[in-house]
Chain A
Amino acid sequence: MTLAAAAAHSAHSGFLSPTGIEIAFVLVGIATLGAALVTVTTKQLVHAALWLVVALGGLAVEYLLLTAEFIAWVQVLIYVGSVVVLLLFGLMLTKAPIGRSPDADSGNRWAALGVAVAAAGALVWVVVDAFRTTWIDLDGPAQGSTEVTGTFLFRHWVLPFEALSVLLLAALVGAIVLSRKRSKEQS
C-alpha cells in the first residue's frame, strides 16, 4: 500500500503518460469486467458464482489501488467471505449439475441488458459529474484509511448510516417474524 501510494505520488501526469499504478488499475478493471461478463453469460451455475468471486476480488483490488484500504477489506470480508458463501450454499441445495445447465438461460436477457446498461450509465454519470477532475490528495492521511473513513462515516454521513441500520434492523425483525409464523403452523 505504501509502495502504491508512493508510486502514485511521484506521478502527477495525465492520461497520456500513464504511471504503473494507472496501468495496473486499467488491467485489473478489464479483468474484473471480463469476470463479470463471464458471470452472467456462463451456463454453469457454480462457475458463475466463482467468477463472481473473481469479479468482487478484482473490485477489492481496485479499491486498494485507490488507497481505500478499509473498503477493500470489507468488500472481501462481506462479499467474498459471506455473500458468495451464502450463494454457494444455496446453489448446492439446488440440483445444479456439474457442467452446463440447459435451462440457465433466460428469455429476459435483452431486457436485463437494457437495465444493466441504464444502471451503469447512471452510476458513471453520477460519479463523473461529482468528481470530474478531482485528484486524491496523498500528502495528508490516506483518504481511504480506516480512521478517515470512520470520521467521514460517523461525522458527516451519520444520518444515512443510521437509516441503513434501521433498514437492516427491520429486515432482521421481518425474518424473525416470518420464521416464527412458519414454526407455529408446523406445530
Chain B
Amino acid sequence: MAAPLPPSRPRIPGSGLAKGLAVTLRTMTKKTVTAQYPDVQPELPPRSRGVIALFEENCTVCMLCARECPDWCIYIDSHKETVPAATPGGRERSRNVLDRFAIDFSLCMYCGICIEVCPFDALFWSPEFEYAETDILELTHERDKLREWMWTVPEPPALDPGAEEPKEIAAARKTAEKLEAQRAKEAQEAQQAEEARQAEEARQAEEARQAEEARQAEEARQAEEARQARETQQVQREEEGEE
C-alpha cells in the first residue's frame, strides 16, 4: 500500500494554472542564463581541463606519461647525448634529449593521468579550449603548440586557510630554519667570545688599577716611614743637643 497522502489544504480551482503563469512571468523578469560565448569569454573554474600543456625543461623523457596514457595518445621521441665530465678525470654522463612530444587530442579523453603521473612537473592542465580543427589529423598537437599552452596555465590556487603546508615548501622552510639556527648559533658564539674578551680586558684594567693603588699605598707608606725616621732622627738630635 502506498503511504497515505499528506492532507492537502483546500485549493481554489485554477490556482495551479495561475501558479504556472506566475512562474513563467517571474522567470521573464529575472536575468537570463545564456552564455554569449564567442562575444563573452566564459569564466572557467580553476583546474578546468581544457588542454594539456608541456613545460619541456622539466621533461626527462622518462616515458611514464606515454605508458600510463589509457588512449596511447602521447608520442615521445628522444635520443641520448653524452655530457663531458665535469671535473678532469671524471666520468662522462649521458642525458636524454627530447626530440618530439605530441598529444593526439582526437584520442585524448582528458583523464589527466599523464599529468598526475609526471614526477617532474612537466605536464599541466591549461584552461585553453579553443583549438578545434577542421581535420581530425590536425588535432595531433606538437611540442611547440603544447609549450605555447604552457603560458596559459594559471597559477595554482591559494591554499585553504589552515591547510597543511605543501611538502616542498615545508622542506625548503626546514632547510631555511636549519640555516637560520646555525647562523644564530654562530652569532651567539661570536658574541660570547666578545663578551669574554671584554671581561678579560676589564679584569686586566682592574688589576692594573689595583697594582697602581698598591704602588701608591706603598709609596705613601714609604714616605711615612721616611718621615717618621726623619722625625726620630730630629728628636734624637734635639736630645743630643740638650745634653
Chains A and B share a contact (CB less than 8 Å): no
